[in-house]
């Protein structure tokens, strides 16, 4: 499946923080929109992801999009039947990826022609949802057969269900929760931001033109990577071997383990492609996520949901544990809605929702076929 990036622009977009600004985001589509425009599925991406959900740009691309095992002809999100759309988030961390189109602190301010930096307004998960709606409208889509996403993408999918309840027939929240839980907020968002701001190279956010706070971003990414994996996954990858060329850490104080060196390398490789301010803004936006915002509470939020909801948590997930999915499902059912939680069994932690996406294929296909609540 060969795909290409498109650009969606709005000359004036109002964000929850009561400012307005010109924005542009990238998007990709897979399959064909039908004549009645009712076969569209929106797939929202996770924190480190982007609009390249599936397929390849060129036949010889090393890797396809991040949820490719689930999206394509004959797959769970069957592009022979559905018109699937992926959209870049605002403040996407992968600013330097030529295939990402986003607007955020690294964007040039139209008046000064210099990066916004910390003058950029805070954007929320709900802001992304509102922007996605404008994009869909521009494509002639007023109803979604489904909105789905893992992790922060699931935050958006669930926000869709309460922000535009009449537009969404089905919602799939994978490895996600209806609000940012405290451990996630403190460890991934609050401390990640602290680590970036502590790096002297952060320069109060005005590091553009220089290298930027690579050490701080690496630490923030390492924390996120650690908490989104699991003991079993790290053990299976590296066991307790010393790093290549390192003496035994137990007897030599300069020694370190392979899992330390490799997890650091993975974090640093990713950090080199990230913009530090985008990380901070995206993390804060994620931390503020709560579908009950603006309502009296979960009961009221659940009562507004008209869509059928499928939650797919992973049993070994530290950041969005199954209990959170079950709480939302119980709240929706208590209001007479249709919701179901199907825990996915794998010992590999949160990110198995991306790297072992195939485990979710059957429950997703069943849900889209209408079997889950038949």
Q: Identify residues 252-281 at the interface with a copy of itself (CB under 8 A).
A: 253, 257, 259-260, 263
Nearer to a copy of itself, 231 or 299 (CB): 231
Which residues neighbour 164 within 8 Å (Cβ) at sequence distance 6 or greater? 129, 133
Residues pairing with 290 in the sheet: 179
273 is catalytic: no
DSSP string, 317-341: -SSS-HHHHHHHHHHHHHTT--EEE
Neighbours of 190 (CB within 10 A): 15
Nearer to a copy of itself, 139 or 258 (CB): 258
Which of 36-44, 106-114, 288-296, 328-336 is the region at the interface with a copy of itself (rule: CB under 8 A)? 288-296
Nearer to a copy of itself, 24 or 223 (CB): 223
Is 103 a binding residue for a copy of itself by CB under 8 A? The answer is no
Is 315 a binding residue for a copy of itself by CB under 8 A? The answer is no
Is 195 a binding residue for a copy of itself by CB under 8 A? The answer is yes
Q: Identify residues 20-79 at the interface with a copy of itself (CB under 8 A).
A: none
Asked if 26 and 49 touch (Cβ cutoff 8 Å), the reply is no
Nearer to a copy of itself, 17 or 108 (CB): 17
Nearer to a copy of itself, 293 or 355 (CB): 293
Annotated catalytic residue within 51, 151, 218, 325: 151
Is 207 a binding residue for a copy of itself by CB under 8 A? The answer is no
In the numeric block, the tokens 């095992």 are attached to 69
Neighbours of 63 (CB within 10 A): 8
Nearest approach, Cβ of 290 to a copy of itself (angstroms)? 7
Helix residue spans in the chain (DSSP H):
125-138, 152-163, 182-183, 192-198, 214-227, 231-238, 258-271, 276-287, 298-304, 322-334, 352-355, 361-368
Among 10, 37, 187, 361, binds a copy of itself (CB under 8 A): 187
Nearer to a copy of itself, 88 or 199 (CB): 199
Nearest approach, Cβ of 123 to a copy of itself (angstroms)? 10
Cα(103)–Cα(131) distance, integer angstroms? 12
Tokens of 269: 């490789």
Nearest approach, Cβ of 361 to a copy of itself (angstroms)? 27
- SS (HEC) of 112-158: CCCECHHHCCCCCHHHHHHHHHHHHHHCCCCCECEEEEECHHHHHHH
Tokens of 334: 């208590």
246 is catalytic: no
Q: Smallest Cα–Cα separation from 43: which of 220, 198, 170? A: 170
Annotated catalytic residue within 45, 46, 289, 350: 350
Q: What is the pairing mode between strands 20-30 and 83-87?
A: antiparallel
Is 345 a binding residue for a copy of itself by CB under 8 A? The answer is no
Asked if 192 and 88 touch (Cβ cutoff 8 Å), the reply is no
Cα(362)–Cα(365) distance, integer angstroms? 5
Nearer to a copy of itself, 133 or 215 (CB): 215
Nearer to a copy of itself, 4 or 251 (CB): 251
Among 6, 24, 122, 333, binds a copy of itself (CB under 8 A): 122
Is 295 a binding residue for a copy of itself by CB under 8 A? The answer is no
Asked if 356 and 230 touch (Cβ cutoff 8 Å), the reply is no
Cα(208)–Cα(220) distance, integer angstroms? 19
DSSP state of 229: S
Is 200 a binding residue for a copy of itself by CB under 8 A? The answer is yes
317 is catalytic: yes
Which of 73-81, 222-230, 302-310, 362-370 is the region at the interface with a copy of itself (rule: CB under 8 A)? 222-230
Among 61, 134, 194, 269, binds a copy of itself (CB under 8 A): 194
Residues that bind a copy of itself (CB under 8 A): 16-18, 121-122, 124, 179, 181-183, 185-187, 190-191, 194-195, 198-200, 215-216, 219, 222-223, 226-227, 229-231, 234-235, 240, 249-251, 253, 257, 259-260, 263, 288, 290, 293, 318, 321, 324
- Active site amino acids: 151, 317, 350
């Amino acid at each position: 499946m060969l795909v290409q990036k498109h650009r969606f622009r709005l000359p004036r977009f109002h964000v929850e923080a009561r400012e307005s600004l010109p924005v542009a985001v990238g998007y990709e589509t897979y399959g064909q929109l039908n004549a009645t425009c009712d076969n569209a599925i929106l797939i929202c991406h996770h924190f480190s992801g982007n609009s390249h959900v599936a397929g390849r740009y060129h036949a010889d691309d090393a890797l396809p999009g991040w949820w490719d095992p689930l999206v394509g002809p004959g797959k769970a999100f069957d592009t022979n039947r559905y018109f699937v759309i992926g959209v870049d988030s605002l403040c996407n961390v992968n600013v330097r990826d030529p295939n990402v189109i986003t607007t955020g602190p690294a964007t040039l301010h139209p008046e000064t022609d210099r990066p916004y930096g910390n003058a950029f307004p805070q954007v929320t998960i709900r802001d992304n949802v509102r922007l996605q709606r404008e994009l869909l409208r521009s494509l002639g889509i007023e109803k979604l057969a489904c909105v789905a996403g893992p992790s922060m993408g699931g935050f958006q999918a669930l926000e869709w269900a309460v922000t535009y309840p009449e537009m969404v027939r089905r919602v799939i929240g994978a490895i996600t929760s209806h609000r940012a839980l405290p451990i996630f907020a403190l460890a991934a968002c609050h401390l990640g931001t602290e680590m970036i701001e502590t790096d002297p190279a952060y320069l109060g956010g005005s590091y553009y033109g220089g290298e930027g706070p690579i050490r701080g971003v690496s630490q923030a990414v390492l924390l996120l990577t650690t908490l989104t994996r699991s003991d079993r996954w790290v053990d299976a990858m590296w066991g307790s071997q010393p790093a290549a060329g390192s003496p035994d850490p137990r007897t030599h104080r300069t020694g370190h383990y392979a899992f330390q060196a490799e997890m650091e390398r993975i974090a640093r490789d990713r950090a080199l492609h990230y913009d530090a301010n985008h990380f901070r803004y995206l993390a804060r936006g994620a931390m503020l996520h709560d579908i009950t915002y603006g309502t009296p509470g979960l009961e009221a939020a659940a009562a507004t949901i008209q869509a059928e909801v499928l939650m797919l948590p992973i049993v070994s997930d530290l950041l969005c544990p199954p209990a959170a999915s079950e709480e939302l499902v119980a709240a929706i059912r208590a209001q007479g809605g249709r919701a179901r939680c199907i825990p996915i069994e794998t010992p590999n932690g949160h990110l198995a929702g991306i790297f072992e996406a195939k485990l979710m294929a059957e429950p997703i296909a069943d849900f889209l076929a209408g079997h889950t609540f038949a």
